[in-house]
């Protein structure tokens, strides 16, 4: 379906902001603090995507950004357009990914440093599934990372500027 990406991205991030406020007994102890910063273009970007699948992708990257960061980290979420793509990025101030591992990060079941990852829980499937979904949409996903400093995940999707109303449809 044709989706307003600014709205959808905001909606996804609102849920992460909300999670910080809900103090259930379950997550009280394990809860990690974080701040989400948003830097979005003000132009409305309409893209053809599968909303549920796309939400899964952003959820996973956001969960990773929080999971692999120390308490109190800032996660910066950007949305911008180039002449024929939209680009979403999610930057964290976390552990980062060692250079030798960067090329494997989207492989099934791959996890950096088994011991470190085991303590965090998870299967190592999140990014492999994310890559599949984004490629099904004709897009690309990649990462820039510096070990010990943080990571930025990028998603680009093909985009054709859509002029206003649907007046010229059919
Ligand atoms: P799952 O998502 O299935 O619950 P997971 O988070 O371990 O488990 P992926 O999301 O596929 O799996 O990530 C693969 C591995 O990449 C992680 O185990 C972690 O080692 C590394 N990784 C992913 N995102 C980050 C990040 N933002 N910072 C540092 N390391 C990361
Ligand atoms: Mg994950």
- How confident is the model at residue 22, as a pLDDT? 80
- How confident is the model at residue 130, as a pLDDT? 98
- How confident is the model at residue 29, as a pLDDT? 57
ipTM of the complex as predicted = 0.98
Distance 128 CA to ligand 1 centre (A): 10
Cβ–ligand 1 distance for 75 under 6 Å, the answer no
Cβ–ligand 1 distance for 151 under 6 Å, the answer yes
Cβ–ligand 1 distance for 152 under 6 Å, the answer no
Cβ–ligand 1 distance for 129 under 6 Å, the answer no
Distance 161 CA to ligand 2 centre (A): 32
pTM score:
0.92
**C-alpha closest to that of 130 among 101, 95, 90, 97:** 90
Q: How far apart are CA 46 and CA 72, in angstroms?
A: 33
State the 10-residue block means of pLDDT for the chain, 170 residues long: 97 96 64 95 96 98 96 97 96 96 95 75 92 98 97 96 60
- In the numeric block, the tokens 């974080």 are attached to 34
Q: How far apart are CA 62 and CA 39, in angstroms?
A: 15
Nearest CA to ligand 1 atom 10: 126
Tokens standing for residue 27: 């997550």
Cβ–ligand 1 distance for 125 under 6 Å, the answer yes
Distance 170 CA to ligand 2 centre (A): 42
- How confident is the model at residue 161, as a pLDDT? 79
CA-CA distances (angstroms) from residue 130 to 26, 47, 135?
28, 17, 9
């Amino acid at each position: 379906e044709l989706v307003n990406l600014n709205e959808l991205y905001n909606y996804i991030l609102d849920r992460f902001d909300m999670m910080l406020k809900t103090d259930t007994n379950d997550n009280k102890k394990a809860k990690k603090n974080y701040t989400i910063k948003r830097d979005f273009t003000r132009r409305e970007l309409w893209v053809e995507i599968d909303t549920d699948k796309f939400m899964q992708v952003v959820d996973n990257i956001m969960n990773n950004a929080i999971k692999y960061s120390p308490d109190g980290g800032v996660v910066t979420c950007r949305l911008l357009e180039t002449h024929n793509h939209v680009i979403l990025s999610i930057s964290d101030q976390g552990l980062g990914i060692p250079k030798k591992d960067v090329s494997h990060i989207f492989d099934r079941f791959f996890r950096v440093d088994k011991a470190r990852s085991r303590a965090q829980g998870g299967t190592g499937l999140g990014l492999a599934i994310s890559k599949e979904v984004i490629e099904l949409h004709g897009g690309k996903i990649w990462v820039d990372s510096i070990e010990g400093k943080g990571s930025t995940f990028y998603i680009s999707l093909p985009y054709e500027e859509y002029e206003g109303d649907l007046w010229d449809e059919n």
